[in-house]
């Protein structure tokens, strides 16, 4: 692909409002942007979804920077590739660090699509012109605040509402939302806050007609989830536990889940995300695209992968305005009646705004072949 330079940027964007999950609160969004350029002047953008602290998984902005700089970029210089699909096998000897791998892989996919004057969606084999999306609502300081947010986003047309739960913020919260909105598609995400000792309590969620309960048990578990699923009517959706096609295969074979949340960063890139998607289609396991509070660049990659046919459930890719006063891309991602229109322009289909990117850059470093 004749890569000429790779620029890493450590970014800081302030969110409109803090986002609280069972593992913590994020307000200042720290992340890495990757820009690759080729010798003819084409470029491609990727985003690492690793957080500042290792609370969702083991990766961080700091570890991703180190892995990109010292391992992944040098590996790419030593092994020129012709197609972004070659990145997954090239990076395979390096264990995990999936978010770092995905950020660079995503930039190469965008570059490749632009060179071929094709949208990333169609390059990946997607065919939807619009995608349905839901919204993920964090833990709030009061139930009233949450209820008014649910009302707001239901009013805006989001196709399903996900609420974050944790011990002490679970049954009464789900019950209140369900009572006020008896007909909405509703789900809960625990981000690993429970253990099998909570089986009874989690079983009480069955009466609220949830689409699914996401990652109730440990982040590294598929065994206990299989036991729990046998005791629940509500389908379990795995998020944190799935890092690869192999993880997905094992979880499905064991009956640990009925649904999978595919996050491109968590599984190491678009290539692996598509493989998991293809396998789940074959096994008739519905999938949807998760989110990590991305800027517009990561969001654009999520839009593209969601156009594959197996993404039959609304994802977490909400509008730019849900997170940011001003997103990094032109145009910003907008949601109308719960739908995002997939851009048809080449690559990710949204133009990164360099002035804003510069404004939010803490530090950057450029590497040349
Ligand atoms: O578990 O899906 C999750 C945000 C950060 C880390 C983990 C998760 C989330 C979300 C928000 O649920 C999804 C989004 O709006 O991007
Ligand atoms: Mg989740």
Alpha-carbon distances, residue 366 vs 10, 184, 214 (angstroms): 12, 47, 39
Cα 101 to averaged position of ligand 2 atoms, centre (Å):
20
Give pLDDT, residue 309.
Answer: 97
Sheet of 287-289, strand order: 135-137, 161-164, 186-189, 213-214, 236-238, 259-262, 287-289
Q: Is 158 in the pocket of ligand 1 (CB under 6 A)?
A: no
Parallel, antiparallel or unpaired: strands 186-189 and 161-164: parallel
Give pLDDT, residue 332.
Answer: 97
Q: Is residue 149 within 8 Å of residue 123, measured between CB atoms?
A: no
Cα 162 to averaged position of ligand 1 atoms, centre (Å):
10
Peptide bond into 331 cis (omega under 30): yes
Residue 61 shares a structural domain with residue 134: no
Cα 247 to averaged position of ligand 2 atoms, centre (Å):
16
Domain range for residue 216? 122-341
Residue 106 shares a structural domain with residue 140: no
Residue 318 shares a structural domain with residue 225: yes
Would you say residue 133 lies in a domain?
A: yes
Give pLDDT, residue 154.
Answer: 97
Q: Is 153 in the pocket of ligand 1 (CB under 6 A)?
A: no
Would you say residue 68 lies in a domain?
A: yes
| CA-closest residue to ligand 1 atom 5 | 292
Would you say residue 62 lies in a domain?
A: yes
**Cα distance between residue 266 and residue 34, in whole Å:** 17
Alpha-carbon distances, residue 202 vs 21, 64, 160, 188, 307 (angstroms): 17, 35, 20, 11, 33
Ligand 1 probe mutation, 239, 241, 316, most atoms within 8 A of CB: 316
Residue 172 shares a structural domain with residue 318: yes
| CA-closest residue to ligand 1 atom 9 | 292
Q: Is 216 in the pocket of ligand 1 (CB under 6 A)?
A: no
Residue 18 shares a structural domain with residue 129: no
Would you say residue 44 lies in a domain?
A: yes
**Cα distance between residue 64 and residue 99, in whole Å:** 7
Q: Is 350 in the pocket of ligand 1 (CB under 6 A)?
A: no
Residue 239 shares a structural domain with residue 267: yes
Would you say residue 225 lies in a domain?
A: yes
Strand partners, 61: none
Over the chain (369 residues), the average pLDDT of each successive run of 10 is 96 95 93 97 97 97 98 97 98 98 98 98 97 97 97 97 97 98 98 98 98 98 98 98 98 98 98 98 98 98 98 98 96 97 97 97 96
Domain of 295, CATH number, reads: 3.20.20.120
Q: Is 47 in the pocket of ligand 1 (CB under 6 A)?
A: no
Q: State what percent of residues in the chain have pLDDT above 70.
A: 100
Residue 140 shares a structural domain with residue 214: yes
In total, how many domains does the chain have?
Answer: 2
Residue 306 shares a structural domain with residue 356: no
- Residue among 113, 125, 103, 96 nearest 275 (CA): 125
Residue the block writes with tokens 């994802």: 315
Would you say residue 346 lies in a domain?
A: no
Cα 72 to averaged position of ligand 1 atoms, centre (Å):
26
The answer to whether 156 is annotated as binding is: no
The answer to whether 214 is annotated as binding is: yes
Cα 290 to averaged position of ligand 1 atoms, centre (Å):
7
Residue 132 shares a structural domain with residue 27: no
Ligand nearest to the CA of 18: 1
Residue 294 shares a structural domain with residue 157: yes
| CA-closest residue to ligand 1 atom 13 | 291
Residue 147 shares a structural domain with residue 254: yes
Report DSSP state, residue 196. G
Residue 367's contacts (CB-CB under 8 Å, 6 or more residues apart) are 5, 6, 7, 8, 69, 73
**Cα distance between residue 12 and residue 81, in whole Å:** 31
Domain of 110, CATH number, reads: 3.30.390.10
Active-site residue list: 164, 263
Give pLDDT, residue 227.
Answer: 98
Give pLDDT, residue 369.
Answer: 87
How many Cα atoms are found within 13 Å in the side-chain-facing hemisphere of 320? 17
Residue 68 shares a structural domain with residue 128: no
DSSP per-residue codes, 135-171: EEE---SSHHHHHHHHHHHHHTT-S-EEEE-BTTBSH
Instruction: For residue 214, give both structure tokens.
Output: 């996401």
Would you say residue 180 lies in a domain?
A: yes
**Cα distance between residue 139 and residue 116, in whole Å:** 43
Q: Is 295 in the pocket of ligand 1 (CB under 6 A)?
A: no
């Amino acid at each position: 692909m004749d890569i000429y330079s790779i620029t890493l940027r450590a970014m800081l964007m302030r969110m409109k409002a803090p986002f609280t999950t069972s593992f913590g609160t994020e307000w200042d969004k720290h992340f890495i942007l990757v820009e690759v350029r080729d010798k003819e002047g084409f470029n491609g953008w990727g985003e690492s979804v690793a957080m500042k602290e290792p609370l969702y998984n083991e990766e961080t902005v700091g570890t991703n920077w180190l892995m990109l700089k010292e391992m992944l970029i040098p590996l790419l210089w030593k092994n020129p590739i012709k197609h972004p699909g070659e990145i997954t096998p090239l990076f395979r000897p390096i264990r995990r660090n999936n978010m770092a791998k995905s950020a660079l892989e995503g930039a190469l996919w965008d570059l490749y699509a632009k060179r071929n004057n094709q949208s990333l969606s169609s390059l990946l084999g997607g065919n939807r012109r619009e995608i349905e999306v839901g919204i993920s609502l964090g833990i709030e300081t009061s139930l009233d605040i949450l209820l008014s947010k649910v009302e707001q986003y239901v009013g805006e047309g989001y196709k399903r509402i996900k609420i974050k739960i944790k011990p002490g913020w679970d049954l009464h919260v789900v019950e209140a939302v369900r009572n006020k909105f008896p007909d909405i598609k509703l789900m809960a995400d625990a981000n690993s806050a429970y253990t099998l000792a909570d089986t009874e309590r989690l079983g009480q969620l069955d009466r609220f007609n949830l689409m699914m309960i996401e990652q109730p048990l440990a982040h590294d578990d598929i065994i206990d989830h299989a036991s729990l699923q046998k005791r629940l009517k509500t389908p379990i959706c795995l998020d944190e536990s799935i890092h690869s096609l192999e993880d997905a295969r094992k979880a499905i074979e064991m009956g640990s889940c009925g649904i999978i949340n595919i996050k491109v960063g968590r599984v190491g890139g678009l290539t692996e995300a598509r493989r998991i998607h293809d396998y789940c289609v074959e096994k008739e396991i519905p999938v949807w695209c998760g989110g990590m509070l991305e800027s517009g660049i990561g969001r654009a990659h999520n839009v593209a992968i969601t156009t594959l046919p197996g993404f039959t459930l609304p994802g977490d890719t909400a509008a730019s305005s849900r997170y940011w006063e001003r997103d990094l891309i032109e145009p910003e991602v907008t949601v109308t009646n719960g739908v995002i229109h997939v851009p048809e322009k080449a690559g990710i289909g949204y133009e990164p705004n360099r002035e804003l990117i510069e404004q939010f850059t803490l530090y950057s470093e450029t590497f040349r072949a």
